Amino acid sequence: MSTAVVVEAPGVHRLEAHSPREPGPGEALVRVHAVGICGSDREVYQGNRPEGYVRYPLVPGHEWSGTVQAVGAGVSETLVGRKTVGEGFRNCQVCDRCHAGETTLCTAGYEETGFTQPGAMATTLTLPARLLHLLPDDADLTAAALLEPAACIAAAALKGNARPGERVAVVGTGTLGMFAVQFLKAISPSELLVVGTRSDREALSRRFGATDFRTKEQELPDDFDVVIETAGSASAAHTAASLLRRGGRLVLTGIPAPGAAGLDPTDLVVRQLEVHTVFGAPPDAWAHTVRVFGAGLLDPSPLVTHELPLAEFPQAIELVGSGDPKVGKVLLRP
């Protein structure tokens, strides 16, 4: 039977029968292969999502992969049968920010798959076909379910604009950190340092291309060209900035809890640091991610540790928040 997870309200969910919604003009119907769970899905379930960034009742799921099953009027039939992933932000496409390609800054307001619009924790997902990014025919759809978080880090890598031969670093060793390592490795840096709190992540960091690994308790350098922060901890931004040379480039992606150690504006000005932030992924970051994935330079597979059926949604949420170092990326399989 086709099913879907519905979060009625914080802490309240049900598994219900799911009927595919036929695609309207400009839309596509995707059969979901796998859907990932991240910290924001846990926020939705616990009720910690900021006001305006969730709408109950809701089918969650913004990290997904699948196969196009049908298309609506005005969409090429050649998409049917193709493996795909898709953008989450439901941007208006007509405001000045959308025309500039900055769709995550759409002035029409926030709408996103899995938060304010039905998500992929269901057998099928219907969405605007313009949001799809098609994959190679031989793509591993299980691995591809992680391309949404990878696209967010691709946006960070593009903003960091690291060049071959530069010294680069990543702060954070979770899923996003490991993606950052792979994107930075692809530009052939002279050094690639990973800084984290878990020494057990050193082997995986080096597998993905890190040339050095340190914990924050060890002595850290201060002369790197580009640093991407992915940890979202209270001190992560401060640590990341401290790694940079004068004139270095910092990209922040983590969202810490209130009360985090802030960046010193005097330090930013005197050292002429260039600071960027990322929230979501615009189309160019998605396209870059799919290209890198298709070229074999991005391997999400080692990050997946658990695959569960939709019926085990609450267990999957608990796994994500368990703090168990053996828990990596958790996927649900409709």
Worst-scoring range by mean pLDDT, 38-47, 59-68, 76-85, 178-187? 38-47
pLDDT level of residue 1 (50, 70, 90 thresholds):
low
Average pLDDT over residues 195-214: 96
**Token pair belonging to 96:** 């000045």
- 3-class SS of residue 21: coil
Start-to-end CA distance of the chain, whole Å, equals 10
- pLDDT confidence band for 24 (50 / 70 / 90): very high
Give the pair of three-digit tokens for residue 191. Answer: 């050094």
pLDDT in tens, 66-103: 999 999 999 999 999 999 999 999 999 999 999 999 99
pLDDT, residue 262, reads: 87
Q: How far is CA 314 from the centre of its chain?
A: 21
Q: What does the pLDDT look like over 220-267, one tens digit per residue?
A: 999 999 999 999 999 999 999 999 999 999 999 998 888 888 899 999
Round to whole Å and give the CA distance between 199 and 218: 11
Instruction: Classify strands 274-277 and 304-309 as parallel, antiparallel or unpaired.
Output: unpaired
Task: Decide if pLDDT at 286 tops 80.
Answer: yes
Angle (CA) 41 46 50, round 5°: 75
Q: How far is CA 121 from its chain centroid?
A: 16
Asked whether 86 and 131 are in contact (CB, 8 A), the reply is yes
What average pLDDT does the segment 13-40 reach? 96
pLDDT above 70: residue 124: yes
Q: Is 290 strand, coil or helix?
A: helix
Listed residue (191, 169, 303, 315) closest to 236, CA to CA: 169
Q: What is the pLDDT, as a whole number, of residue 216?
A: 86
Q: What integer best gives the mean pLDDT of the chain?
A: 96
| Cβ count within 10 A of residue 238 | 17
- Return the ∠ at Cα 100 (arms to 253 and 110), rounded to 5°: 55
pLDDT recorded at residue 323? 86
- Segment 172-182 shows an average pLDDT of 97
The answer to whether 150 and 179 have CB atoms below 8 angstroms apart is yes
Question: Does the structure show a pLDDT above 70 at 28?
Answer: yes
For 64, the token pair is 């997904």
Please tell me the predicted confidence (pLDDT) of residue 87.
97
Residue 31's CB is within 10 A of a number of other CB atoms, namely 15
Does residue 116 have a pLDDT over 80? yes
The predicted-structure confidence for 146-161, as pLDDT tens digits, reads as follows 999 999 999 999 999 9
